[in-house]
Every structure is written in structure tokens, then in C-alpha cells.
Amino acid sequence: MDVSMSGARSSSLERRERFVARGVSNQNPVVIVRAEGSRMWDEDGKEYLDFAGGIGVMNVGHGHPEVVAAVKAQAEKLFHTCVHVALNEPYLALAEALCRIAPVSGDKKAVLLNSGAEAVENAVKIARRYTGRAAVIAFEGGFHGRTMLGMSLTSKVDPYKVGFGPFVPEVYRMPYPNPYRHPFGDGDLTQQVIGFLRQAFETYVDPKQVAAVIVEPVQGEGGFIVPPADFLPRLRDVCREHGMLLIVDEVQTGFGRTGRMFAAEYTPDLDPDMVVMAKSMGGGLPISAVVGKTEVMDAPQPGGLGGTYGGNPLACAAALKVIEIMERERLPERARYIGEQSMQFLRELQSRHPIIGDVRGLGAMVAMEFVKDRKTKEPYPEAVALISKKCLAQGLITVKAGIYNNVIRLLSPLVISDQELQKGLHILAQAVREAEAEL
């Protein structure tokens, strides 16, 4: 342990080592005790800018006063009922609000849950019950949680899957159209991926046995991979052709992050059968949902969906306020501005530093991929580790991503000020310069 650490920090990290399971990783070895907007403070009083947002959870910012007030007001009235025992008004109000904003056409219904992984599991349950089929198609680079089914759908082995098998059967993984790491070489990327999918119906799985295809409109943990604009519509057409449901996983892309309330809105006629949402939905409280077409959502029998804490009144009150704030303050528009400023800054930085292989993103979902050589695109996870360490020392919290851990992603709260954004970007740029000189 670094002897320069303060006594408080040293003590906390020793407690972490003593009492917290080894499997819980910590990218930034710091203990946060307070946060506000886009800023955080550790137990020594040091201030940090937050470019991680709790991995995309704090889109409305830390401790938004209206969210805090809504939770306090709800806490004074009702903490919990369990919806299976008795209904509560916040559950009903949030289900109605989510059905209003979800990018699904026609009559809709919702089920409220606790986490993104739990929502994914329930979406698959619903799809299997509705179709009477068992198989599910997911994509390389996709991340859908750490539960057993979530791991089965997720493609990254280390650390998510090492030693945890065997996994859930009847999960089939297809290539994702990654424009930077083109899986097929030259040619029309979407055409090649869809062609591979159709070929898989001859060699991997009978499409009549596929209940659903689950896809992230922009891959999150996979490294902020933005597919070609024609990919999702073509994928939808394949689903419709074979009676497979389309599940869009908006856990990280949802609630304003990409410049729309949901990334699926960039494809107006996509019309998925179900949308999975979580993360920034609760403003920091654990809550998630599946929203889908009524006939699909009503397929499971009463008691087939739910859980003890799903739709907890406190989390519902927070989520209702989050939706109100996002719409009133037009935070999706703010996300587009943040993304434009970040992309411009980082692409200029890329022009001066060969270790930055790619800069990409959609709205305020922006990332840099680091490579040892731009021609070979050999991943450079050591650069990300060093850059993150240098950022932390200068008061910037970052978070990595990518199959090879060679991506730094930007997930600052959407309420970040222009001054804070530029300060964080300049800290990041300085860290890149120093790391490149040392590596």
C-alpha cells in the first residue's frame, strides 16, 4: 500500500481488503463520502470530477435536490408494500409514465424490477412464454448482466464468466457490426452481419426455436460500439420474418444518454417488442423495468413476474422525478451538446497521439479506444490503466470498458457545466500525454 496515503484512506482500504469479497473489483481506489451534481469528495476532502456517473447511473447528477425531496416525501408516507401483497400508487404512476415514453408502438404494459440484469432475465422469460420457444440470440461484445442468464448472454469471458459455468443453454451469439474492428474485413458491414445471422439459421439454430433477439443499440461494456444506421432496421426485419421478438437493451443507453430519451428513437420505425431499462432511471436508487407490447407482456401467468422489492415506492418516486427533470430540462438535448464538445476535443487529441486508435460515440456516450499500433489495432489495456491512475491523481474519476479493457468511456452526469466538462477533458488529455511518454 502507498505509504503516502492518508490515515483515513489507508484504514478504509484495509477494511475493504478485510471484509469485502475479492470478486468485487474497484477501478479507482478511493472512498467517496459525498457528491453533488458532477463533483465528488473522498473521506480526505479531496474533490473529483465524475466522468463515470456510477457507470451511467447519475444522468441527472448526484443528489439532485428534486430527487432528494421526492424520496424524502415518499419515505414519510410509505417505504414498502411488495406489489404482490398490495398495490402502491408510485408503482402505478411509474408504470404509466414508462409506457408513455417507451419507444414501443401501440398498447404497452410494464413490469418494475430492481436491476438491469433482473430486467433482462424477465424479458427473456416473457419472450419464452409468449412464443413457446427456448432459444435466444445475443451479440459478441454484448453485456447483459452478471446473473447466470446475464452471464450466458454476455460475451466477455474475463472476469465475468471465468469459473462460473456451465451456463444457460440455448443462447446463440452472433457478430456485432463493429465499424472499428470490422469482423469480416472489407464490405458492407450490416449486410455481412445479417448474412451471418441468416447462415446461422442453417448451422446453429432453427429460427422457429428462437424466442427473441436481444441487442444493445449502442454497446456499453463492449466499448461504446455504435453500429451502422441500417443495422437495427435490418435486424428487426429478420425478427419479424421468423416470428422472433426483438428486445432492445437500453440499460446504459436509456434516459437521455445518447441524445434521445432512448437510443432506439434514432430509428423511428424500429418498434421493438420489449425495451429493458435501468441505471439512470432511478437517479441513484436501484430500479429497472421491462416495457413492451401488451399482448407480449400479458403472456406470463399471474405470479410469473415480479419480486419482493420490484417497484419499491422510494425508487419509483425517484424515477418519476427523474423523468420529469429530463423532460423539463431537456437533458437529452444537453447530452447531444456534451457529446459534440467531447468528440471534437478527443478527435483533436487523437490526431496528436497514436495510441488513440478510435474516438466514437452517440450523444454523451463517448469513448476512446487505445491501441499499441494503429495498423494492427493491438489493444493497449496498459495505457488505459495508467491513464486512469493519472486522472485519479488529478481529481478525475474515469471508468474503462471494452472486451480488451482498452477503452476509456465518458459517462459524466448530463448536468455537468461547460467549465467542468472542459476541465475534465483537459485532465484526461494531460494524462494521455504523460502516459504515452512513459509507456
The architecture in CATH of the region 67-328 reads 3-Layer(aba) Sandwich (3.40)
The pLDDT tens digits of the residues spanning 141-176 come to 999 999 999 999 999 898 899 998 899 999 999 999
Please check the confidence at residue 42 and state whether its pLDDT lies above 60.
yes
pLDDT score of 296: 98
Q: What is the mean pLDDT of residues 65-70?
A: 98
pLDDT score of 193: 97
Cα–Cα dist 144/166, whole Å: 17
Please check the confidence at residue 401 and state whether its pLDDT lies above 70.
yes
Question: By the 8 A CB rule, do 139 and 177 touch?
Answer: no
Cα–Cα dist 32/52, whole Å: 13
pLDDT score of 185: 84
What percent of the chain lies above the pLDDT cut of 70? 98
Cα–Cα dist 284/62, whole Å: 8
The pLDDT tens digits of the residues spanning 243-288 come to 999 999 999 999 999 999 999 999 999 999 999 999 999 999 999 9
CB-based burial label for 356 (10 Å; 0-12, 13-18, 19+): buried
**Cα→Cα distances 26→17, 117, 143, Å:** 11, 20, 19
The pLDDT tens digits of the residues spanning 282-320 come to 999 999 999 999 999 999 999 999 999 999 999 999 999
The residue ranking higher by pLDDT, 98 or 3, is 98
At 121, phi and psi to the nearest 5?
-60, -40
Please check the confidence at residue 5 and state whether its pLDDT lies above 70.
no
Please check the confidence at residue 1 and state whether its pLDDT lies above 50.
no
pLDDT score of 3: 42
Helix and strand counts by DSSP (H, E) for the chain:
13, 15
Q: What is the mean pLDDT of residues 197-202?
A: 97
Give the number of other Cβ atoms within 10 Å of residue 241's Cβ.
10
Give the number of other Cβ atoms within 10 Å of residue 15's Cβ.
11
pTM value is 0.95
Considering only CA atoms, give the Rg of the chain: 22
Extended strands (E) in 325-393:
356-362, 365-370
The pLDDT tens digits of the residues spanning 406-428 come to 999 999 999 999 999 999 999 99
Q: Which helix (H) or strand (E) holds 418?
A: helix 418-438
pLDDT score of 2: 44
The pLDDT tens digits of the residues spanning 201-227 come to 999 999 999 999 999 999 999 999 999
pLDDT score of 308: 96
**Cα→Cα distances 73→7, 112, 128, 183, 315, Å:** 38, 21, 39, 52, 12
Which residues on adjacent β-strands are paired with residue 47?
A: 41
pLDDT score of 158: 87
Q: Which helix (H) or strand (E) holds 430?
A: helix 418-438
pLDDT score of 6: 59
Those residues whose C-beta lies under 8 Å from the C-beta of residue 116, and which sit 6 or more positions away, are: 144, 145, 249, 251, 252, 276, 278, 279, 288
Q: What is the mean pLDDT of residues 72-85?
A: 97
CATH dotted code for 7-63+330-438: 3.90.1150.10
pLDDT score of 7: 65
Q: What is the mean pLDDT of residues 325-343?
A: 98
pLDDT score of 4: 46
Q: What is the rounded average pLDDT for all residues in the chain?
A: 96
Band the pLDDT of 10: cuts 50, 70, 90: confident
| b/e burial code for range 361-372 (CB count within 10 A of at least 16 → b) | bbbbbbbbbbbb
Give the start-to-end residue ranges of the domains of the chain.
7-63+330-438, 67-328
The pLDDT tens digits of the residues spanning 109-135 come to 999 999 999 999 999 999 999 999 999
